[in-house]
Structure 1
Amino acid sequence: MKNLSSVLPSAQNLLPVESLSEFASRIEREFLTDSAIAVSLYTDNIRIVSDIEISAGGDVSTPIHDALNWKYTRFGHQAKPTLHAAIFLNEDGSPWQGKLSRPRTDAQKDKEQKYETPIGNGSRAYLPTVNRENRRSIANRYGVEVPPPGESFWDWLELHPEIPIIITEGGKKSLCLLSQG
């Protein structure tokens, strides 16, 4: 008798796919509970999307492909499981990175690629939206005037060299540090 993996080498792709709500719950738990990110920073900076979304009017969009500058092909030769993503947004609303529900495997490193950066963006600093509450916390910690709402937090930060800039490994750690003031 043949082993199932020898007959269907991609049998794992046939397993049930995580629903959008299951993915959203998992990401929320990972960010809010496991990474200690403030709810307001999470809701301001993370968007949960599916690979294909259909509006009430029937318009189709491809938010993951659009965010990551991937080419979307409608009529491929391979069926793929549904994909969801948590898109990290910059203060200006542009996508900084995405965390996929089914990470791709980097063939050269034989390792899962946990995060995807938009094609053509290169290495860039993550500059998320920082709300009034977190602005106040940071300003109080360093004894400076609270930045006004409606202005770029990052432009304000540039004017305050007394506030240290901490380089982190990724977006979740950045949001966690901002959550702590």
Structure 2
Amino acid sequence: MSASILQTTPTLETFSQRFEHECIVGSEIDSCLYSAAIEIVEDTGYFEPNEFLGQKVSRQWQTHKPHNYRALAVFLNEDDDPWQAKPEHPRVNHKTGKEQKYESIKGRGARAFTPPVTVGIYRKITERNSIAQEDLWLKLLVEAARQNELDTLLQKWSGSGASQLTIERGAIAGMGFSSSSSKNFIQNQALEKLQKLLQPNTQELHSLQQGNPTQEVLAALCCFVANLPSRTRVPNFWKWLEQRVDIPLILTEGGKKSLCLLSQGYVAIALYGARGGVVENEVIGGEKVRKLKPELIHDLQRFAVPKRSITIALDQDDRIKTIAILNQL
């Protein structure tokens, strides 16, 4: 066989490199989304992964040595709170005799994976659902106007990747901006125009507070949003999703699956397992008892509302026990 047609896998020396390759190449996760949602925690000899997971590390660890995970690939929620971690060196579950491929944070209970979403992914989601790209930012602008917090919001926006904006010719047509202007200058112009238009006691501010922005305000906002770098993190994406009941939601098992679906423009939330979205037990008098009526975990309650389409997407499994669990959903 000719060497020219041989396909070789690059040598990946570190766990970080291997896991990134596994996600981006193997699971087709968007590279910018991966960077936003995954953090690597390495053991430098002080058992940082163990402490990160909430495990107690004894001061006499020389004689009671904890498990050495070597490194963790941590799945982060939008608020940077860790959801789950994949260890480089998994421990063995003594009950099943199998490796514990994933670890959750001790004491956190059942949680859903709601990762940070980048502008590039947000654009795919809005396009798939026929929603204007500026919709999320417009809702933030309206809310800030009603609460007299416009200056604070626009100041935050002034740091939204201003030095990395990508400006396309025609994106700023009709606003009096030059397509040859510097990237920083163009974004600053858009924000300055918003500030000028939305001065106290102006018709533009009043209209915005009513949820009906003028064409000039909308044009400046669209210019700002259209030129944000793809890797910029979207502010409060999941809060915005609460309000958009017209966007379908997919529930799945495993962080990589949800990141893969998000990379294609589908809104997906991952759970620890098939029944990871419900609370089935409660503590009464210091004892754990089964609830008479299971309820959704808090992370899902805000999305499970009338008129929202929710799809449960899980791996097909032939095991009788797993089928029985799924039939109860």
Is 1:119 aligned to residue 102 of structure 2?
A: no
Is 1:145 aligned to residue 137 of structure 2?
A: no
In structure 2, do the counterparts of structure 1 residues 150 and 166 end up closer, same or farther at CA, with 3 Å as the change threshold? closer
- Give the Å deviation of 1:52: 3.3
- Count of residue pairs the alignment pairs up: 155
Q: TM-score, normalised on structure 2? A: 0.44
Show the counterpart of 1:135. 122
Show the counterpart of 2:21. 29
Rounded Cα–Cα distance in structure 2 between residues aligned with 1:172 and 1:127: 12
Show the counterpart of 2:39. 47
- Give the Å deviation of 1:47: 0.8
* RMSD over equivalenced CA pairs, Å: 2.1
The AA in structure 2 aligned to 1:71 is K
Show the counterpart of 1:87. 74
Mind listing any 5+ residue stretches in structure 2 that lack a counterpart?
A: 1-11, 138-232, 266-329
Rounded Cα–Cα distance in structure 2 between residues aligned with 1:47 and 1:152: 20
Rounded Cα–Cα distance in structure 1 between residues aligned with 2:114 and 2:83: 8
Report the more deviating stretch, 116-125 or 68-77. Answer: 68-77
Residues 119 and 234 in structure 2, CA contact (< 8 A), matched pair in contact too: no
1:68 to 53, 64, 80: 53
The AA in structure 1 aligned to 2:14 is E
Show the counterpart of 1:4. none
Rounded Cα–Cα distance in structure 2 between residues aligned with 1:82 and 1:165: 34
The AA in structure 2 aligned to 1:85 is L
Is 1:160 aligned to residue 152 of structure 2?
A: no
Mind listing any 5+ residue stretches in structure 1 that lack a counterpart?
A: 1-19, 54-60
Alignment partner of 1:98: what SS? strand
User: Which contiguous aligned blocks of 4+ residues in structure 1 show a shift greater than 6 angstroms?
Assistant: none
Rounded Cα–Cα distance in structure 1 between residues aligned with 2:106 and 2:257: 22
Rounded Cα–Cα distance in structure 2 between residues aligned with 1:173 and 1:130: 15
Residues 68 and 95 in structure 1, CA contact (< 8 A), matched pair in contact too: no
Higher RCO structure, 1 or 2 (CA under 8 Å, sep 6+)? 1
Alignment partner of 2:49: what SS? helix
The AA in structure 2 aligned to 1:119 is K
Alignment partner of 1:166: what SS? strand
- Give the Å deviation of 1:66: 3.7
Rounded Cα–Cα distance in structure 1 between residues aligned with 2:246 and 2:122: 15
- Give the Å deviation of 1:106: 1.1
The AA in structure 2 aligned to 1:142 is N
Residues 52 and 63 in structure 1, CA contact (< 8 A), matched pair in contact too: yes
Q: TM-score, normalised on structure 1? A: 0.78
Rounded Cα–Cα distance in structure 2 between residues aligned with 1:43 and 1:21: 19
Report the more deviating stretch, 115-124 or 139-148. Answer: 139-148
Show the counterpart of 1:100. 87
Rounded Cα–Cα distance in structure 2 between residues aligned with 1:160 and 1:90: 20
Show the counterpart of 2:255. 171
Report the more deviating stretch, 89-98 or 78-87. Answer: 78-87
